[in-house]
Structure 1
Amino acid sequence: MSHMVRNVGAALMAVMIARSAGFAQSATEGLYKAKCQMCHGEKGMADSGAGKSMKVKPATDPDVKKMSEAQMIEAVKNGMGKMQPYQGKLTDAQIKDVVGYFRTFVK
Structure 2
Amino acid sequence: MMKRFALVMVLSLATSAHADDVADVWKAKCKSCHGEDGKAKTKMGQKESIVDLSQPAWQQAESDAEIRQVIADGSPKNTRMKAFKDRLTPQQIDALVGYIRTLKGK
TM-score range, shorter chain: 0.7 to 0.9
So what's the TM-score if we normalise by structure 1? 0.86
Which residue of 2 is the match for residue 84 of structure 1? Answer: 82
Structure with the greater alpha carbon radius of gyration? 1
Show structure 2 runs of 5+ residues with no match.
Answer: none
Question: How large is the RMSD of aligned CA atoms in angstroms?
Answer: 1.5
Q: Which runs of 4+ in 1 moved over 3 A?
A: 61-65
Q: Percent identity, aligned pairs only?
A: 24
* Distance in 2 (alpha carbons) for counterparts of 1:61 and 1:37: 19
* Distance in 2 (alpha carbons) for counterparts of 1:11 and 1:63: 41
* Structure 1 contact 41–48 (Cα < 8 Å) conserved: yes
Q: 34, 38, 52: which is aligned to 1:40?
A: 34
* Distance in 2 (alpha carbons) for counterparts of 1:49 and 1:76: 20
Q: What code does the residue aligned with 1:75 have?
A: V
* Distance in 2 (alpha carbons) for counterparts of 1:48 and 1:38: 7
Q: Secondary structure at the match of 1:72?
A: helix
Show structure 1 runs of 5+ residues with no match.
Answer: 1-6
So what's the TM-score if we normalise by structure 2? 0.86
